[in-house]
Every structure is written in structure tokens, then in C-alpha cells.
Amino acid sequence: MKLVFATNNSNKLKEVQSLVPKHIQLLSLKDIGCEEDIPETTGTIEGNAKQKANHIKTKYGYDCFADDTGLEVSALNGEPGVDSAHYAGPQRNAEDNMDKLLEKLKDKPNRAAQFKTVIALQINGELHTFTGICEGEITKEKHGDKGFGYDPIFKAEGYNKTFAEISLEEKNKIGHRGKAIKQLISFLIKYNI
């Protein structure tokens, strides 16, 4: 079966492709000719995921799933949250985003944070959501060169390495997106999709 993953992020696509069953052909936005910026205007992680999935189904006619992810830092009242990708500005630069976050946390002893991913699946005329959370903390410096986004400054609970220092396989086991994708896959298998 064909299922669209509403993303242009090649890192996310690679991460998810390694988890999806072989009988599902995963298509990217590029594969379906979608080159527009899909609206993300709801103000919540869950709302944005639903908005993207509904947009692709309505405009392109494909069953699809979309995700939205945010890093929520306790000492900053949940910032950057829904604004994680463009925390330091519209340029969506990971280095700038990490630098801003580290600067805002420099005098704060509480470095607790969590990554949250919500996946919205639009299939057979129904909308389903799946949520994955990975708790941890923000490091004081960047470490590692794997992964993307905030991975060099996020250490999962019980780990002494950042997401940027562990393998993709390990990150998929403990990470927020991996947890949400596993729920999605269980749903697809349960209902023979």
C-alpha cells in the first residue's frame, strides 16, 4: 500500500522508513508533487500534525500521516514547544536554535526537558493521533554529530550521551518519534492496513 509521510525533511523520512513494515510504500511530499509550504498555524503540536494530514488528504487525495515535534523545556514554561523549528527566527537554523536555548538556560539549574511528537494519520476517512514523549535534559554544551535539530544538546533520561552521539537504531528505540511511529505501526497492523 502507498502512504504519504507529509514531510520534506530527509532525516525524518530516513528515520521513519527504517521502522515502517516493508509492505507499506512510504511516499514523501516530493514524491506526490507537493512543493508548497503546508500550513502549521494551530499553535499546538497536535493541531499542526492534524492540519498537515488533513491538508494532504483534501488537496492531493492520498492517505497520509504527518507529524509535528517540539522540544519542551521545563524552566522555560515549555519553550520552544510548537516553535522549536524556528525558535531563533524564520531561517529554521538548528545551530541558531540551540545557541538561543543554551543562552536562555545558562543560569538555570533545572535543565529538565522532553521531546514530544504527535502523529496524525488520515486514512479511510478517519483521523487518528499517536503521541510519543522522551524525557531527559538539556546539556550545557553541544556533543555529537549524528541526528539533527536539538539532538546535540538533548540527553534522554538514563543516558549519558546526547541523541547526536547515539546510533539511529538506539534513538528509534528510546526517542519520541520512534515511540509515536511504533504506535502508528501497531495500529496499521491491528487493522490490516
Structural contact between residues 148 and 94, judged by C-beta atoms closer than 8 angstroms: yes
d(CA 130, CA 25): 20
Tell which CATH classification among 3.40.50.300, 3.90.950.10, 3.30.460.20, 3.40.50.720 matches the domain 2-190: 3.90.950.10
- Average pLDDT, integer, range 149-171: 95
Tell me which of 43 and 192 has the higher pLDDT.
43
Q: Tell me the pLDDT tens digit for each residue of 94-104.
A: 999 999 999 99
Mean pLDDT of 74-99: 96
- The confidence score (pLDDT) of residue 152 equals 98
Tell me what the pLDDT averaged over the chain comes to: 93
Report the pLDDT value the prediction gives residue 8, as an integer from 0 to 100.
82
Run of H or E including 170: helix 168-174
Q: What is the DSSP letter of 5?
A: E
The predicted structure's pLDDT at residue 183: 95
Specify the pLDDT at position 20.
79
Q: Which of 90-94, 115-119, 145-149 has the highest mean pLDDT?
A: 115-119
The length of the chain, given as a count of residues: 193
pLDDT band at 168 (very low <50, low <70, confident <90, very high): confident
pLDDT level of residue 64 (50, 70, 90 thresholds): very high
pTM: 0.90
pLDDT over 80 (residue 19): no
pLDDT band at 133 (very low <50, low <70, confident <90, very high): very high
pLDDT attached to residue 111? 98
- Average the pLDDT over 174-188 and give the result: 92
Q: Confidence band (pLDDT; 50, 70, 90) for 189?
A: confident
Question: Which residues are annotated as catalytic?
Answer: 68
Distance between CA 145 and CA 134 in Å, rounded?
20
Name the percent of the chain in helix, strand, coil, to the closest 5. Answer: 40, 25, 35
Q: Counting runs of H as helices and runs of E as strands, what totals does the chain give? A: 5, 7
What does the pLDDT average to over 92-117?
96
Share of the chain above pLDDT 90, in %: 77
Question: Is the model's pLDDT at 81 over the cut of 90?
Answer: yes
